[in-house]
A and B are shown apart, each in its own frame.
Chain A
């Protein structure tokens, strides 16, 4: 059901937002708006791509998609916030690693 996808999107936005405000600690409303937009862009596309992975390359493919998402999100954060790229890359990596791990835990329950 598409509602499960929407719930996953909301959970991802919330988790990533907590990581972002932990890194930046200012402009909380603006950061929330950016987190919503960035994840509305990356998560549906990532899910669509992941759904088309052949079973034989599921893990590698999923890893590739996650790396792509980290890179795209880090660039978007860089363009929106004018911060150092290293910091944006680390922030994106931590945020996506956290959501990926929690997602795996939830799926395994």
Chain B
């Protein structure tokens, strides 16, 4: 009896966690990645993305558009290249199965040699399933990087649509993604009803 109760409880717990990962009806997820546009200007630094589930640490290569797990919320860390030990970093990252992995990570990134950016990154989230948006790329820009401060801003967003077209939009407020211009949506949801209404009014007036 106890095993049955335990089994049903586990089933319920896991089903809720699965439900949390499900996309609500009428919505879809879009691909997301980010690049650091002036990273080459700071060639004496190594940049690492870290933070949140399944985003323990990834060295950012030049011009790489980096993605992360949708529920993660990483930041970018900068460290002088001369202070960075790649072997030590790889050993740490690959020890994720150890019990004290989280503590080890915290200790590692707390070192004074690391500078943590103020900007926290989040996935783009969900959009309506009728939207032709396929993926979003945030272009980040280093504003300040010195021994004491590391400031990044969102410079622009590049939206890629299902037909392959792209649009670029500058960020005004880096907390708010720029609005998407979507001609197909405007044409269907506003253009079509307006045209239909005009024809209907014409027919009614003609009848009189």
Whether both chains belong to one complex is answered with yes
| Given the contacts A37-B199, A79-B204, A44 and B130 also touching, CB distance less than 8 Å | no
Q: With A40-B193, A40-B195, A107-B25 in contact, is A2–B185 under 8 Å at CB?
A: yes
What are 20 A-B interface contacts by the 8 Å CB criterion? A1-B130, A2-B130, A2-B132, A2-B184, A37-B203, A38-B200, A40-B192, A40-B195, A40-B196, A41-B193, A44-B188, A44-B192, A45-B189, A45-B193, A47-B130, A47-B189, A48-B190, A76-B200, A80-B200, A80-B203
Kindly report which residue of chain B lies nearest to residue A45, judged by CB atoms. Answer: B193
Report which residue of B129, B200, B204 has the largest number of chain A beta carbons within 10 angstroms of its beta carbon.
B200
A4 at the interface (CB under 8 A from B): yes
The interface size bin for chain A is 10 to 19
> Is B8 at the interface (CB under 8 A from chain A)?
no
Total A-B pairs in contact (CB under 8 Å)? Answer: 49
Q: Footprint of A on B, CB under 8 Å?
A: 25-26, 128-130, 132, 162, 184-185, 188-190, 192-193, 195-197, 199-200, 203-204, 207
Spell out A's residues near B (CB within 8 Å).
Answer: 1-2, 4-6, 37-38, 40-42, 44-45, 47-48, 51, 76, 79-80, 107
Residue of B nearest to A50 (CB): B26
Would you call A37 and B200 a contact (CB within 8 A)? Answer: yes
Q: Main SS of chain B's interface residues? A: helix
Nearest neighbor of B161 in chain A, beta-carbon distance: A1
Question: Whole-angstrom distance between the alpha carbons of A4 and B196 in the complex?
Answer: 20
Shortest distance between the CB of A72 and any CB in chain B (Å): 11
Q: How near does chain B come to A77, taking the closest CB pair, in angstroms?
A: 11
Complex alpha-carbon distance, A10 and B51, angstroms? 47
- The answer to whether B128 touches A51 (Cβ under 8 A) is yes
Q: Closest CB-CB distance, A11 to chain B, in whole Å?
A: 15
Contact of B204 among A6, A41, A80 (CB under 8 A): A80
State which of B132, B189, B200, B204 has its C-beta within 8 Å of the C-beta of A1: B132
Residues of B within 8 A of A37 (CB): 196, 199-200, 203
Determine the chain A residues whose CB is within 8 A of the CB of B189 once the complex forms. Answer: 44-45, 47-48
- The smallest C-beta distance from B191 to any residue of chain A, in angstroms, reads 9
With a cutoff of 8 Å between Cβ atoms, the chain A residues found around residue B199 in the complex are 37
Which interface residue of A44, A45, A47 has the most chain B CB atoms within 10 A? A44
Closest CB of chain A to B77's CB: distance in Å?
A: 37
Contact B200 A5 (CB under 8 A): no
- Asked if B204 and A4 sit within 8 Å, CB to CB, the answer is no
Closest chain-A Cβ to B41's Cβ sits at a distance in Å of 40
CB contacts (< 8 Å) of A5 on chain B: these are 130, 188
Chain A proximity of B189: nearest CB distance (Å): 5
User: With A and B bound together, what is the CA distance between A30 and B26 in angstroms?
Assistant: 34
Known contacts: A1-B132, A51-B26. The answer to whether A44 contacts B200 by CB under 8 A is no
